[in-house]
Structure 1
Amino acid sequence: MRTASLEALQSSEQRKLMDLVDRLRRTGLNTLMQLPQIVVCGDQSSGKSSVLEAITEIPFPRKENLCTRFATEISLRRDTEEVISCKINPDEGRTEEEISRLRGFSRTIQDFDALPSLIDEATAAMGLGPSKAFSKDVLCVEICGPSRPHLTLIDLPGLIHASNRSQSEDDVELIRSLVKDYISKQRTIVLAVVSAKNDYANQIILKMCRESDTKGARTLDIITKPDFLRPGSENEATWLDLACNKDIFFELGWHLLKNRADDQHTITFAERNLEEQAFFQDGNYSALSRSMVGVDSLRGRLSHLLFSHLQKALPDLQNELNGMLSKTLKSLDILGSCRDSLSSQRIFLTDLATSTSNIVRMGCNGIYEDPFFGNIDVDGAVDSERNFVRLRAVVQHLNLRFAEATRLKGHTFHIERELDLKEIDDDAHDAEPWIPTGKNTPRSISKPVKMNKQQASKWVNHIQERIRGRELPGIFNHSIIGYLFQQQSTKWALLARKHIEDVAGACKRFVLAVLDIVAAPEIKKKIAALTILPRLKDAHMEAMADLDRILEDKARHPITYNHYFTDNIQKLQKERLTKHLVNNTQKTKVKAVQDTFGHTTIEKDYIDPFYLKCSIGKSIEQDMSKFATEQALDAHDAFYKDERKYFVDAVTKQAIERRLLAPLVEVLSPRSIAGYTDEKVQAIAAEPPEVRQLRAHLENRRMMLEEGEKAFHVAIGGL
């Protein structure tokens, strides 16, 4: 079984690279990624098997249609023992039962004489026969020996031009699809075999190769059976032009082989090679470069091509492997540890809850140190797609927006008075003109309705007349403050409810985003449905209930012990008195002439006390009802300002902080997991069959990729 001529494929550096690819293939990585490989393809009866024999000097079975009904992967491996093994890689389209059965197929022989019967067994196992001519299964033949190189070649079924009694249209399409799939892989070297017995224009493998490899950078075309061409004929000249790359150009060019004839199966490989050398030294073939004829030069050419191809492919292959390993490890990390018992399930949920509560606590406290929070989008809004995870910043933003909306739009009427508390004031153009119809009580969040002083007095007087008690004329009934306040603060409830909904939505969005990071999709879905969303809903309802209680307190009779209430009333009265004094002072100025030293006089302005007294007396409001109205508005404005600030604080502290933010850390925490029943733990954490299958798949992939990573490290250390 020793084949010394294969040493042409075994330079020291090349052997190391080929050993690496072989180790990668043996880990099963060829099922995950494209590995460098050599594929032999061509039309039926083009001489593919003879080409394989010539390259490897392995006597493949010659029985008709034996090795061409399915893809055959031939792996040569250097080993101390000479052994031939065979297995089947089943097509993924088969049933699980068929896949399991075919994967169980494994045979070992010690001699090539038993290879035909071994392949017969594999053919039968694939279910091939009169009713099924071809299969997408792959027959893997591994040939080990001390002189073997690490080399893998794949022999594909021959392309069929037309269907017949034994080969259906489906068979024609199946083989074309199979060949196209193999030759389209960018890390595949294609040995396209064409027979000189047939017109090359009719051999479809050339068209398929040009479509998959437009420049011919990885396709080496091999012409077989040149001995069937009549020496000196025009047909021979045409084929020689083709071989010289003059007709159909491929970057790697063409090569000619003269294989054994059908009646020469008994001659040795050495005799075959001598006969081939003699053939190409005669006639028009003698003018061809020795580098493009014969199997010896083909081995050297293939050796150089393999080495160059592997050098280019392996760096990208290593990067792809590392990327797949990183992605696989991340997927396994998301799945967490295996959860096949109640204790492992509870531990899994506790770990998940710990990670969740830590990130949630950071978000609530405004400490954004975890990678989860990412980079700040300075151009985006506070609650934009990249910024919303900073929960405390979002809540602060919403609280400030709520306070501002309450200040600017919380009051029903914008009263234009000579004196006003600036905090209640709003831009005049933001207020709508008041129409005294009695129906102008807004039910939605809209701009305040504008009132002038006369309209405001009429509005207050209307109420005053209807709630008058035993108070003396000129003194307002103190209950009017409550009536005015309730009408003026109608929109507070709408503003507060909207604010609570906004903050609750921000909390929900934030927690679900945390779950996206720490939990697999199916776990997130269960936890969200069974725990997170119900608790967030409860918190939302409790916040609304707190708001209802705040609104109930607001609807009661006015109460305040804040000294700012009386301070503001006195400020209003002081400002009014000051304004009156200034106005009256201007009105009571008189001019007087005063003598100076010498004969000159000067004229000065003086305030006449008598006129000032009379003027102040005239400015006193004589209309008792109007005076009471003015006093009532002063008291209301002071109370409204004080109560508005209290309301904003109460909503943000009680409804927002106490009900929405404070419990958020405990929505999913180790403490909450400890309270779960066994049934709830299993309902959330127990792995469904598909997750167990996914875990097994990922673990298998991880092992293959890690073995591949080790193979690269060993190879790099030895290169």
Structure 2
Amino acid sequence: MASTSSDVAHQVTPAPSVLASELLDRIDSVRKLGVNHLISLPQIAVVGDQSAGKSSLLEAISGISFPKDKEMCTTFATQIVMAKGASFAAKVTIDPDPSNISVGLPVPKSPLDVAAVIEEAKNLMSEGNSNLIIADKILTIELTGPNYPRLTLVDLPGYVQSVIKGQSETIIEDIADIVDRHLKDERTITLAVIPANKDLATNVVVGKVDKLGSNGARTLGVITKVDVIDAGEEEAVLEILHGRRCDFGLGFHAVRNRNWAEVNGSLSTEELLVKEAQFFARAPWSQLDKSMKGIVSLRSKLVEILHNHVEKELPGLTTELHTILDGKTAELRRLGDAITTDTQKRMLLITNARDFMKSYEAFVDGLYTYATTNPKTEFFLRARLQALNEKFYESILRHIGDTLEKAAIEQMIKEFRGRELAGFPLYHAFIQLVRINLNPWLDIATKHVEATCTEVQKTLRQLVQDVVHPTLVRAFTLVADTFVHTIKDGMMAEVLEMHIDERTPLTYNHYYTQHKVTASNKEYDIEDMILHVKAYLKTASKKFIDAVCMYAIERRLFRLGIPALSDALLGIDPGVIKESMQVVQTRNKLQGEITKLREALSVFY
């Protein structure tokens, strides 16, 4: 038997529990704060291509009209917030709206007035460019009335397949980016609008849901335009509705789209619902369960889905809000307060220099946990210097006596012979052999100093980035680089002097006297000379290695260098402290985000 107007009019969507209704109110309040770019919120997002019947579906659910312009597509998200009320009331706003441009929007007096207000709001949002992609704002339509369910839907721009005159060349990609981002979001239930008169296999939404939307686990498919399919195609549509051709986690639902005459005519919402009920009462649609067809049952289904989803997501949502707030607060703390006065600048310089030097000294001494910054292995300077010193030691030892060839030594003994009596060692030949073997040491020591300075400079630069206030990074980096270059020049000069000193053999080290060889009775004992030279080089190498490491590096770079670096940092002109526009904008943005996040949390407590 066909449904009457009275039957359908009284098919009111079940009221949600008080708790569920309050939770939805809170989620909507948080969404109005404009924190969508910071955290995803539980929602039902309506997705479809341009010709899927999305607008007609939303009009049937909400009872209002949307602007009709076949040449243009929606380029922003629209949030429809429905709630029960004694009589019809509507309000259209733009969220977030720091400039209060929504204030001038008229208040719709009836459902038919809403379309004109939406068009006016769209012009305000896009500043006259109707094809401008607006990703950071939401058009919110609040509706109350006696027959409205407590339900919120977010209508996303429809996928477009081609660009028409006047549209941006990137509109296809831009809209896809907005919609795809929602499909990927684990907190989004997707209401996929699929026209019955189009091939399911080529439907862009079905492909996107399979790829991005957890294989449809969070998706409810709404099959539209079942009333315009050709005769004989009903069975294929029923196959879809029963999940035999496509598997969506939340199933499928069929609705009858309103034709042009019905949309633009004088039929009431109740009369339109009666026509839909009559359509689905006929075969083959009559075989469908009531919960799978019609706007009234779809409303009930959406209310239940959304309420369950919000209750499920709430604990994780509040935890994530706290985590994001903590992160933003830490970012703001690192930026510090705005710096304007000379006293503030001087105090900032002193504080940063103190913290910087404390960390640097800790890394130099190997006391890594004493640093003011979190210890990272790339800051462990002493460990890297120890490895360099060991490599330096091994390199020097490898060059002891490696050029002492007997034939060359015999020739040198003959060339350097003086008045020495037979059996006396030739001192000048000894000196020359020592010098030949010492030559590689200068290059090895020079490379060691360069490698050490490179590590020091790397640590200083990393510390600057990690510890120093952004306004002082450039000045601290310049001082650190100048310090390393200056100290390196002094170290190189000192290493050269040490090497020159070693070219004139002299030692009182007992190691040499214990290991020197007693001269034989041979006039030119080559073996004796080799042993004398090797014994001396081993003695000299110990002295040279220690001198380079202790006096050139430790004394100049650290014992004397650390106070010099500290003085240089404190000598920076506080006048260089000037926050860049980027820092100012970042601080303002963080302060705004922190305020919104705190307001969002306060909604739930």
Q: Does 1:87 align with 2:87?
A: no
Amino acid at match of 1:645: K
TM-score by length of 2: 0.78
**1:642–1:705 distance in 2 versus 1, CA, 3 Å:** same
Q: What is the aligned counterpart of 2:455 among 506, 513, 531?
A: 506
Asked whether the equivalents of residues 85 and 106 of structure 1 are also in contact (C-alpha less than 8 Å), the reply is: no
Show the counterpart of 1:307. Answer: 307
**Secondary structure at 2:439 match in 1:** coil
Show the counterpart of 1:676. Answer: 572
**Secondary structure at 1:369 match in 2:** helix
Show the counterpart of 1:253. Answer: 251
Distance in 2 of aligned mates of 1:638 and 1:168 = 87
Distance in 1 of aligned mates of 2:360 and 2:53 = 69
Show the counterpart of 2:583. Answer: 691
Asked whether the equivalents of residues 256 and 292 of structure 1 are also in contact (C-alpha less than 8 Å), the reply is: yes
Q: Does 1:287 align with 2:287?
A: yes
Amino acid at match of 2:479: T
Asked whether the equivalents of residues 13 and 300 of structure 2 are also in contact (C-alpha less than 8 Å), the reply is: no
**Secondary structure at 2:416 match in 1:** helix
Deviations 1:630-687 (A, max 9, x none): 9988887776555443333322221011112324534654x433212245xx1xx422
Aligned-pair CA distance for 1:170? 5.3
Asked whether the equivalents of residues 37 and 152 of structure 1 are also in contact (C-alpha less than 8 Å), the reply is: yes
108-117 or 302-311, larger mean C-alpha shift: 108-117
Show the counterpart of 1:392. Answer: 382
Aligned-pair CA distance for 1:152? 3.4
Distance in 2 of aligned mates of 1:168 and 1:495 = 67
Amino acid at match of 2:578: A
Deviations 1:565-591 (A, max 9, x none): 89538x754xx8xxxxxxxxxxxxxxx
Show the counterpart of 1:609. Answer: none
**1:347–1:282 distance in 2 versus 1, CA, 3 Å:** same
Amino acid at match of 1:513: Q
**1:522–1:667 distance in 2 versus 1, CA, 3 Å:** farther
**Secondary structure at 1:307 match in 2:** helix
Distance in 2 of aligned mates of 1:49 and 1:296 = 17
Asked whether the equivalents of residues 213 and 219 of structure 2 are also in contact (C-alpha less than 8 Å), the reply is: yes
Aligned-pair CA distance for 1:243? 3.5
Amino acid at match of 2:484: L
Amino acid at match of 1:24: V
Asked whether the equivalents of residues 162 and 172 of structure 2 are also in contact (C-alpha less than 8 Å), the reply is: no
Aligned-pair CA distance for 1:503? 2.1
**1:373–1:289 distance in 2 versus 1, CA, 3 Å:** closer
Show the counterpart of 2:545. Answer: 648
Amino acid at match of 1:87: I
Distance in 2 of aligned mates of 1:408 and 1:169 = 70
Q: Does 1:243 align with 2:241?
A: yes
Distance in 2 of aligned mates of 1:203 and 1:480 = 93
Show the counterpart of 2:362. Answer: 362
**1:411–1:106 distance in 2 versus 1, CA, 3 Å:** farther
**Secondary structure at 1:497 match in 2:** helix
Amino acid at match of 1:545: A
Aligned positions of 1:516-527 closer than 5 A: 516-519=465-468, 524=473, 527=476
Show the counterpart of 1:18. Answer: 24
**Secondary structure at 2:447 match in 1:** helix
Distance in 2 of aligned mates of 1:548 and 1:358 = 32
Aligned positions of 1:436-515 closer than 5 A: 436=408, 455=410, 459-460=412-413, 462-465=415-418, 468=419, 482=431, 485-515=434-464
Structure 1 portions without partners, runs of 5+: 91-99, 376-385, 415-432, 437-450, 577-619, 715-719
Aligned-pair CA distance for 1:291? 0.9
Show the counterpart of 2:183. Answer: 184
**1:248–1:407 distance in 2 versus 1, CA, 3 Å:** closer
**Secondary structure at 2:21 match in 1:** helix
Asked whether the equivalents of residues 338 and 344 of structure 1 are also in contact (C-alpha less than 8 Å), the reply is: no
**1:409–1:308 distance in 2 versus 1, CA, 3 Å:** same
Distance in 2 of aligned mates of 1:295 and 1:637 = 100
Asked whether the equivalents of residues 72 and 131 of structure 2 are also in contact (C-alpha less than 8 Å), the reply is: no
Q: What is the aligned counterpart of 1:39 among 45, 49, 66?
A: 45
Amino acid at match of 1:515: V
Q: What is the aligned counterpart of 1:545 among 485, 488, 493?
A: 493
**1:107–1:128 distance in 2 versus 1, CA, 3 Å:** closer
Aligned-pair CA distance for 1:459? 3.7
Q: Does 1:352 align with 2:300?
A: no
134-143 or 296-305, larger mean C-alpha shift: 134-143
**1:149–1:527 distance in 2 versus 1, CA, 3 Å:** farther
Deviations 1:88-147 (A, max 9, x none): 779xxxxxxxxx98x845445444345344333224335688xx6644235512427698
Aligned-pair CA distance for 1:331? 4.1
Distance in 2 of aligned mates of 1:338 and 1:349 = 14
Show the counterpart of 1:73. Answer: 78
**1:301–1:650 distance in 2 versus 1, CA, 3 Å:** same
Which of these two proteins has the greater Rg computed from alpha carbons? 1
**Secondary structure at 1:356 match in 2:** helix
Structure 2 portions without partners, runs of 5+: 1-8
**Secondary structure at 1:119 match in 2:** helix
Show the counterpart of 1:568. Answer: 514
Amino acid at match of 2:497: R
Distance in 2 of aligned mates of 1:236 and 1:413 = 97
Distance in 1 of aligned mates of 2:124 and 2:72 = 14
Asked whether the equivalents of residues 411 and 491 of structure 1 are also in contact (C-alpha less than 8 Å), the reply is: no
Show the counterpart of 1:140. Answer: 139
Asked whether the equivalents of residues 88 and 106 of structure 1 are also in contact (C-alpha less than 8 Å), the reply is: no
Q: How many residues align?
A: 585
Q: Does 1:27 align with 2:17?
A: no
Amino acid at match of 2:35: L
**1:48–1:642 distance in 2 versus 1, CA, 3 Å:** closer
Asked whether the equivalents of residues 80 and 152 of structure 2 are also in contact (C-alpha less than 8 Å), the reply is: yes
RMSD (Å) for aligned C-alpha atoms: 4.6
Asked whether the equivalents of residues 88 and 139 of structure 1 are also in contact (C-alpha less than 8 Å), the reply is: yes
Asked whether the equivalents of residues 67 and 116 of structure 2 are also in contact (C-alpha less than 8 Å), the reply is: no
Aligned-pair CA distance for 1:397? 3.5
Amino acid at match of 2:183: S
Distance in 2 of aligned mates of 1:554 and 1:185 = 71
Aligned-pair CA distance for 1:531? 1.0
**1:647–1:326 distance in 2 versus 1, CA, 3 Å:** same
Distance in 2 of aligned mates of 1:694 and 1:260 = 50
